[in-house]
Amino acid sequence: MDIFSPADVLVLKVAFGASVAYGVQKLISHTSQKPVVEPLIPPRSKTSNLTSNILATPSRNIKTELKRTRKSCMIFYGSQTGTAEKLASIFAKEALFRFGVEGLVADLDNFDYDDLLSLSEENVLVFLLATYGEGDPTDNSISFDRYCANLRSKTDLQAHNLHYASFGLGNSSYQFYNEMIKRVDSTLSGAGAHRIGSAGLGDDADGSLEDDFLTWKDETLPQLANHLGFTEQERAPIVNLVISETKSSSSIPLFLGEPNAAHRKGKLRGPWTNSNPLPARISESREVFQNSPRKCLHVAFDISDSTMTYETGDHLGVSPENSNREVERFLRIFGLFEKKDSIFNIGSEDPTVKLPLPAYTTYDAATRYYLDICAPISRYILGSLVSYCSDEVTKAELLRLSKDNVAFEKEVKNLCLNLAQFLEGFGSSTLWNSVPISLLFEMIGKLQPRYYSISSSSLQSRKCISITAVVETQKNDEWSHEFKGVATNYLLAQHFQIRGPNALEPTHLLSGPRFRNTAMSSLIHVRRSKFRLPKMNSVPIIMIGPGTGIAPFRAFVQERAWQNSAHPAGRTILFYGCRRRNEDFLYEEEWRQLETSFKPGTFSMHVAFSRQDPTKKVYVQHLLNQQAEELRELILRQNACVYVCGDAQRMAKDVFTAMAQIIGEDNAFDGDSQAYLKTLKKNKRWLEDVW
């Protein structure tokens, strides 16, 4: 079977010059011809009902847009990292495939909500909303959250014709678990609207988010379809995207990894955002672990020639690229390696579907810069591949794993394999050549930036931003497989390249689109945070951050020291945890130097070494108990602010429990200590930057 079916082909009538073709082809050729090493795991014993030719300008009015696109369902997503958007697309696709329900996947930020409550019962709204931080809406949901808050202040609402479905993406490690979807559900039901199915709550704390979504989807879709008058029936698989290959030409806007048209043209200007990141030169890259098999990098980016600004406590987004090894593996598995530099055009038969790639690019650029080919596999993807597998044994295996959650977790998820790595285990090099590339590109999410707490002070270091990142590497002993984090290993490759071309065999291209990255830079942008120092430097602060959770506190202490001469700092206490003093004590010398910037007794640091004594593990919560008397004084009587940074699932909970016990033991305190700490959170005196 050919990779491109007739339904996947668009007819292009463009004249191509031979000389231009040669030049562009030379420019776009990246990948080595050397084959990927042996497989990581041993061998295992035409679209339909798509709306087209919708030419009218999109409207911000929900009713108008539903009518314009001839959809009966609008699927809103509130997404910070792209997951909710991806799940919304899956929901829309399955609604059409199984029931013939045409849904419009929509960014909440692209609409006004004045007519939301007056929608007729012939339409359904679906909300897939992530909760960000401590119960906050995602950036594209802020306006909708304000709208809901305004609705809750009214008592005469009549929304009895509105029907909706809701699913939240959250993490139960946080206090305000799935708070955003809970607020929305309460608001709409309180206004008289009718929810279809249950309010789904997806939990990322234990990795069950996808399973939670699939369970909710399978329960909700039949009820939604029934309400709209549709019944389930067998239909052809739905593939919205259409891909056609073409030849190189100066007349087409060819993207080779650039994030937008301005980057492609070399005309860069702010504001610097996720979609328009700044190419910032790496001014410093050094390892900050001493005698450890693990690696941790301190990376500083020069922003002196840009308009980029940041505030202490913000996050830095780094846009990575996939490694040579994984790009080649993916291309070979799906029969694309020999044509990796071929140019293709991507479009959609449904103009309301958002394209995951620029209109013109190459297979190499798509898999290197634009698609998250190293993402964990989902049961949904495995189930989608079943129809295109010609081997009956393999087909049965894919079907089993896509249906059996327990087997999937044991045999797929726990191995930490990406899609191409997993499919290698089925042997045949041509087994997956019949999978439509349009389907693959539709299922695989976009390569998203990774975010890191900024470890520099914006007052002391205005023109340079630094981060502190442990290089993510996990070994699977059963298969001798090593999982490598995409972004940190990209930064590690840059680190070795800066040290010298012979420091290590190159793992990434690094030269960037059109070989423009000659100064070793990364694409970065700043994400604003609420993790802020008190406005008054005299307010006492208590900082708790094991491991790389110390990163923002390096910035905090730098800033307090910088301001100290003009505005004397209040009590500044840092609780830090690592394994061993001579192994992973981050910035040890810097802390000694910073202490001299304060008056004696102002700054103190308490360090827990969890592996120093093999007979006794010491963690930061143990150190809190040792300083209980001063902590009670600072929090209860001096209005100190508390900051926690690091692991949300264990550390942050243990710290909260320990601190509640400390507060509860105060002789003058009469009340519920946990409720008191929750009040501190509400009043922004207890702030967390956890993951």
Q: Using one digit for the tens of pLDDT, what is the confidence trace for 265-295?
A: 999 999 999 999 999 999 999 999 988 889 9
Both tokens assigned to 18: 């031979």
Q: Which of 61-65, 423-427, 453-457, 567-571 has the least mean pLDDT?
A: 423-427
Asked if 224 and 250 sit in the same domain, the reply is no
For residues 167 and 247, membership in a common domain is answered with no
**Selection from 573, 303, 574 nearest residue 465 by Cα:** 303
Residue 45: predicted pLDDT: 47
User: In terms of domains, do 155 and 35 share one?
Assistant: no
Alpha-carbon distance 61 to 450, whole Å?
Answer: 33
Confidence class of residue 504 from pLDDT cuts 50, 70 and 90? low
Shared-domain flag, residues 554 and 596? yes
Q: Is residue 634 classed as helix, strand or coil in its secondary structure?
A: helix
The pLDDT assigned to 302 comes to: 98
The question of whether 206 is a catalytic residue gets the answer no
Residue 397 covered by a domain: yes
Question: Annotated catalytic residue: which of 89, 283, 285, 453?
Answer: 453
For residues 113 and 153, membership in a common domain is answered with yes
What's the rounded Cα separation, in Å, for the pair 140 and 145?
A: 10
25 and 68 belong to one structural domain: no
pLDDT of residue 615: 82
State the chain's mean pLDDT as an integer.
Answer: 89
Give the pLDDT confidence score for residue 212 in this predicted structure: 95
453 is an active site residue: yes
- Range of weakest confidence among 121-130, 136-145, 148-157, 681-690: 148-157
* Window from 49-63, 111-125, 211-225, 512-526 with minimum mean pLDDT: 49-63
323 three-class SS: coil
Give residue-wise pLDDT tens across range 156-192. Answer: 778 889 999 999 999 998 888 999 999 999 999 999 9
DSSP 8-class letter at 434: T
Residue type at position 337: F
Same-domain check for residues 333 and 256: yes
pLDDT at 19: 41
Q: Which of 455, 466, 246, 233 is nearest to 363 (CA)?
A: 246
39 pLDDT above the threshold of 70: no
Domain harbouring 677, CATH code: 3.40.50.80
* Dist CA 94 CA 97 (whole Å): 5
**pLDDT > 90 fraction of the chain, expressed in percent and rounded:** 74
Q: Which domain holds residue 27?
A: 6-40+242-268+321-443
Q: Is residue 532 part of a domain?
A: no
> Which helix (H) or strand (E) is 182 found in, with range?
helix 179-190
Q: Are residues 428 and 357 in the same domain?
A: yes
Look at residue 350 in the predicted model and tell me its pLDDT.
84
> Is 521 in the active site?
no
Give the mean pLDDT of 604-617.
90
* Beta-strand runs (E) in 268-393: 278-287, 296-302, 315-319, 343-348, 360-362
Residue 238: the pLDDT is 76
Q: Render pLDDT for 572-603 as a digit per residue (tens, 0 to 9).
A: 999 999 999 999 999 999 999 999 999 999 99
**What is the full DSSP assignment across 222-254?**
HHHHHHHT------PPP--EEEEEE---TTS-B
- The pLDDT, as a whole number, for residue 8 is 41
Q: Are residues 110 and 213 in the same domain?
A: yes
Q: What is the value of pTM for the model shown?
A: 0.88
Q: Are both 144 and 256 inside the same structural domain?
A: no
Q: Do the domain assignments include residue 375? A: yes
Q: What is the Cα–Cα distance from 249 to 27, expressed in whole angstroms?
A: 12
pLDDT in tens, 342-383: 999 999 988 888 899 999 999 999 999 999 999 999 999 999
pLDDT band at 22 (very low <50, low <70, confident <90, very high): very low
Please write the tens of the pLDDT for every residue from 422-441.
999 887 767 899 999 999 99
Per-residue pLDDT tens digits for 117-141? 999 999 999 999 999 878 899 999 9
Residue at which a domain ends, from 443, 472, 498: 443
Q: Which of 443, 473, 500 is where one domain is finished?
A: 443
pLDDT at 104: 96
Query: Which CATH number characterizes residue 10's domain?
Result: 1.20.990.10
pLDDT band at 479 (very low <50, low <70, confident <90, very high): low
Q: Single out the catalytic residue among 143, 189, 198, 691.
A: 691
Is 76 a member of any domain?
A: yes
Q: Say how far apart CA 350 and CA 42 lie, in whole Å.
A: 41
The encoded tokens of residue 630 equal 């001063």
Q: Which of 410, 443, 476 is the endpoint of a domain?
A: 443
Higher pLDDT, 397 or 23: 397
Q: At 137, give phi and psi (nearest 5°).
A: -75, 155
Question: What is the rounded distance in angstroms from the CA atom of residue 264 to the CA atom of residue 404?
Answer: 45
133/221 same-domain check: yes
Question: Could you tell me if residue 237 is inside a domain?
Answer: no
| pLDDT at res. 393 | 92
> What average pLDDT score do residues 543-571 get?
96
**Any idea which of 253-262, 375-384, 636-645 has the lowest mean pLDDT?**
375-384
Domain-embedded: residue 284: no
Question: Is-catalytic flag, 148?
Answer: no
682 plus 616 within the same structural domain = yes
Q: Is residue 627 assigned to a domain?
A: yes
In this structure, is residue 212 part of a structural domain? yes
Lowest average pLDDT, out of 52-56, 238-242, 382-386, goes to 52-56
Report whether pLDDT(34) > 60: no
> Domain total for the chain?
3
For 297-321, the pLDDT digits (tens) are: 999 999 999 999 999 999 999 999 9
Whether 108 shows a pLDDT value over 50: the answer reads: yes
Note the pLDDT tens digit of each residue in 202-212.
999 888 899 99
* pLDDT tens digit sequence for 506-536: 899 999 998 888 789 999 999 999 999 999 9
Q: What is the pLDDT of residue 13?
A: 35
CATH number, residue 121: 3.40.50.360
* Per annotation, catalytic residue among 148, 296, 578, 645: 645
Residue 56 pLDDT greater than 50, yes or no? yes
Percentage of the chain lying above the pLDDT 70 cut: 90
The type of residue at 667 is N
Q: CA-CA distance, 409 to 625, in Å (whole number)?
A: 39
Indicate if the pLDDT at residue 607 is higher than 60.
yes
How many DSSP H helices and E strands does the chain contain?
22, 23
